[in-house]
Structure 1
Amino acid sequence: MDRSSSNPFSLEETPTSGSEAPLHFLEKALGGLRCFQAFVTAYEGGILEACREPASLADICGKTGAHVGIAGPLCEGLVRTGFLSRDGSGNYQVTVVTRDFFLTDSRFSQKAAIAQMKEFASLFYCLPDILQKGPVVYPRGEQFRERVIPAMAEQSRCGLVQRVAGIVSSLPEFQSARRLLDLGGGHGLYAIALTRKNPDLSAVVFDLPEVTPATREMIRQYGAQERITTQEGDFFHDSLGTGYDILFSSSNPSGKMPALIPKISDALNPGGLYLNKQVIDSPEEDPFADLEWNLWALEGMKKTEKRFRFEGSVRLEEYNRMLGESGFMVRNIVPVDGRSVMTIAQKTGVRGAGRDAS
């Protein structure tokens, strides 16, 4: 007999766990989903564009075709989250943050970054299928060219490139440097910013053949063709060249792979600097972020189960120790932002040079 219909639970009985809100976790997650989907809909559906100048709800619906009963709460949510403001007459207008990042002509547009976030979100909707069939596999060059690098370029222009260029240009060796290699440099913005800090510095951006056409276009847009060139290659398999005073690497797999240290050393002149910006290995790991990392894969590149780690990579602390055993002196580890640090290492040619205790 069905107990749920003929013998209901005693109203004096409570859950063994003691929890009175078993769906709290899902309610909190759903709140994030609401905000994400509401913002993306407003961004793509023209709501933000309709509010460049003060606009009534009727104006917004007239411009976008939105249903007034849906658009009203949506706009109020955008006010609450800081993307719109509302004046005393009830008119909505975009905020400074929205003008900076989320209009079609915003100087710091985040269009590619939002598209990448949408794609990651869509993978979770496919989780039941991926759970059975395995990760979605992307062509490596296409994924970097079309998604990863444009998104990284947009995000880095918002202050990260400027901060990194300030750190690097303050190093005593920087003004005397003549050749820089931006390893896996993708968008080329770091090379562009650094050559502007040193008029005698030339740079080479090394990246995959599928990526470098976009790199050259970025270099052209900034008018830096005379001092910055590209080199096509795969740093897992190809030579990096030689004769560089600085080798810069930002958030790419080479910066945590001990097997590539000899190539990096060979590319540098004696006394040359290896500047390696990497995401911090956080002890507070998020298993759902690791899950996202494992929902997709790149052709020809094996990832580990932990986020931002590829096969052959090690934790940054271990990598820096191995630098010291391979002819580098780790001079400093500089915080860049809340998520990353830059290791400043100098090629000494003396194995076991270790780390500068000063």
Structure 2
Amino acid sequence: MDLLNIEGIGEALDLLELCWQFRPVRVLMAGHQLGIFEMLRTPQTAAQVAKQCGTDPSMTERLLIACCALGVVQRDKGKFVLTKLGRDLLLPESPRYIGGILGHYENLWWFWTGLTEVVRTGKRESAPPAPKEFADKWHEFWIWAMHGIAANGVGQWLASNLDLSDRKLLLDVGGGPGTYSIILCQRFPNLRAVVWDLPRTLAIAEEVIKRFGMQGRITLQVGDWNKDEFGTGYDCLLMSNILHGHGSQAAMKLAKAFRALEPGGLLIVHDFLLNDEKTGPLPAALFNLMVGAYSVQELMAIIEETGFKDVRLVAYLPKRGSGLITATKP
């Protein structure tokens, strides 16, 4: 084989680069878990950070150099400090804090570590368990992760692709921290919203809604979709990331959504979606491996079978593998 003149070198380099992508997120997870980022509100040397965090000075400096390369830390005259991006994402007081994401990723890390056995056995419990301090807080990390994701690009994308200027009352089913409702209400002054979820989740949503001063326009409703109806009287309804493939009981949830909407009501579905050939894109394919995902046409067909009309894919975000589908109740 002539190694000098070989086809597909560019694609091979891209794939090899993907194989290394566990490293950057592990850097952020380590810095977060060790409390390093909170030490960098003001400029510090690596030795000062190490002393305060109880870490090795040499490895601490190496970690900080990696954080500089990631754009969340900057170095000036031998001292390190958070960049604006670092302050926005890595300090707990920031409204865009991603600490929940990094905690959630620690739990996910162990699933992916055990993927070989999960595929071999077909049982998720074949993966090694996450450390207890993370496993015990999985729900809290998960809901705060949903906030971090929505607040850092996905929610803004969703709102920019919808026109709810003539809508008055949104039901956010399985709304988690309520971040999508907050962004939609901020964009559309006429809109009020109800976040519908389990009590444990709504305790976090209440905190998030208060943080953004939206208590006057967003209320909370306790519900369990396995046994409760969604209510009635809504002219728009959001189902974000709750229709994850064939195990998600999508038909049941959509039927309840249909009953909750007034005639002419708008259904908004946001979820990971595979292409119709089920060959990608990569973010949706990876999510499908871990949880499940429909193809675009599969989910649109289920929505139509429920009785909705004018079902259409209005936007797609390849970087996330997320699609935005709307439909109308006749």
TM-score category, normalised to shorter length: 0.7 to 0.9
Find the residue that maps to 1:280 and give its secondary structure. Answer: strand
The question of whether the paired residues in 1 share the 8 Å contact of 2:238 and 2:268 is answered with: yes
Structure 1 residues 204-353: aligned runs within 5 Å: 204-253=194-243, 257-282=250-275, 283-284=278-279, 306-309=289-292, 314-325=294-305, 326-336=307-317, 338=319, 339-348=321-330
> What RMSD in Å do the two structures reach over aligned CA positions?
3.7
Once the 2 structures are TM-superposed, how far is the Cα of residue 289 of structure 1 from its aligned partner? 9.2
Find the residue that maps to 2:147 and give its secondary structure. Answer: helix
Once the 2 structures are TM-superposed, how far is the Cα of residue 76 of structure 1 from its aligned partner? 2.7
Tell whether 2:156 aligns with 1:159.
no
**1:183 aligned to 170, 173, 186, which one?**
173
Higher normalized helix content (fraction of residues): 2
The question of whether the paired residues in 1 share the 8 Å contact of 2:244 and 2:291 is answered with: no
Distance 1:183 1:100, change over 3 A: same
Structure 1 CA distance, aligned partners of 2:206 and 2:269? 23
The corresponding residue for 1:135 is: 124
Once the 2 structures are TM-superposed, how far is the Cα of residue 113 of structure 1 from its aligned partner? 0.5
**1:99 aligned to 70, 81, 87, which one?**
87
Letter in 2 for 1:71: T
Once the 2 structures are TM-superposed, how far is the Cα of residue 126 of structure 1 from its aligned partner? 5.8
Letter in 2 for 1:41: A
Find the residue that maps to 1:194 and give its secondary structure. Answer: helix
Structure 2 CA distance, aligned partners of 1:144 and 1:329? 38
Tell whether 2:49 aligns with 1:60.
yes
Structure 2 CA distance, aligned partners of 1:322 and 1:289? 19
The question of whether the paired residues in 2 share the 8 Å contact of 1:55 and 1:92 is answered with: yes
Structure 2 CA distance, aligned partners of 1:81 and 1:272? 44
Length-normalised TM-score, structure 1: 0.70
Letter in 1 for 2:263: P
Q: Which has the higher contact order (CA 8 A, sep 6+)?
A: 1
Structure 2 CA distance, aligned partners of 1:243 and 1:331? 23
Once the 2 structures are TM-superposed, how far is the Cα of residue 52 of structure 1 from its aligned partner? 3.3
Find the residue that maps to 2:41 and give its secondary structure. Answer: coil
Find the residue that maps to 2:30 and give its secondary structure. Answer: helix
Structure 1 CA distance, aligned partners of 2:255 and 2:19? 48
User: Which runs of no fewer than 5 residues in structure 1 stay unpaired?
Assistant: 1-23, 294-304, 349-358
Once the 2 structures are TM-superposed, how far is the Cα of residue 112 of structure 1 from its aligned partner? 0.8
The corresponding residue for 1:352 is: none
Structure 1 residues 19-168: aligned runs within 5 Å: 31-87=20-76, 89-124=77-112, 134-136=123-125, 145-168=139-162
Q: 1:80-131, CA deviations, whole angstroms, 9 ceiling, x for partnerless residues?
A: 33333333x3333322321221234334211111001111113455668877
Letter in 2 for 1:248: L
The question of whether the paired residues in 2 share the 8 Å contact of 1:258 and 1:319 is answered with: no
The question of whether the paired residues in 2 share the 8 Å contact of 1:112 and 1:147 is answered with: yes
Structure 1 CA distance, aligned partners of 2:260 and 2:138? 24
Once the 2 structures are TM-superposed, how far is the Cα of residue 329 of structure 1 from its aligned partner? 1.4
Structure 1 CA distance, aligned partners of 2:100 and 2:299? 32
Q: 1:122-168, CA deviations, whole angstroms, 9 ceiling, x for partnerless residues?
A: 34556688777943499xxx988423221111121113223322332
Distance 1:62 1:250, change over 3 A: same
Distance 1:286 1:270, change over 3 A: closer
The more displaced of 72-81 and 241-250 is: 72-81
The question of whether the paired residues in 1 share the 8 Å contact of 2:111 and 2:124 is answered with: no
Once the 2 structures are TM-superposed, how far is the Cα of residue 336 of structure 1 from its aligned partner? 4.5
Fraction of identical pairs, as percent: 26
Q: 1:153-204, CA deviations, whole angstroms, 9 ceiling, x for partnerless residues?
A: 1121113223322332xx2xx3332222111111112223333444443322
Once the 2 structures are TM-superposed, how far is the Cα of residue 35 of structure 1 from its aligned partner? 4.0
Structure 2 CA distance, aligned partners of 1:176 and 1:190? 18
Length-normalised TM-score, structure 2: 0.75
Distance 1:345 1:110, change over 3 A: same
Structure 2 CA distance, aligned partners of 1:217 and 1:42? 26
Once the 2 structures are TM-superposed, how far is the Cα of residue 320 of structure 1 from its aligned partner? 1.0
| Aligned residue pair count | 302
Structure 2 CA distance, aligned partners of 1:241 and 1:144? 29
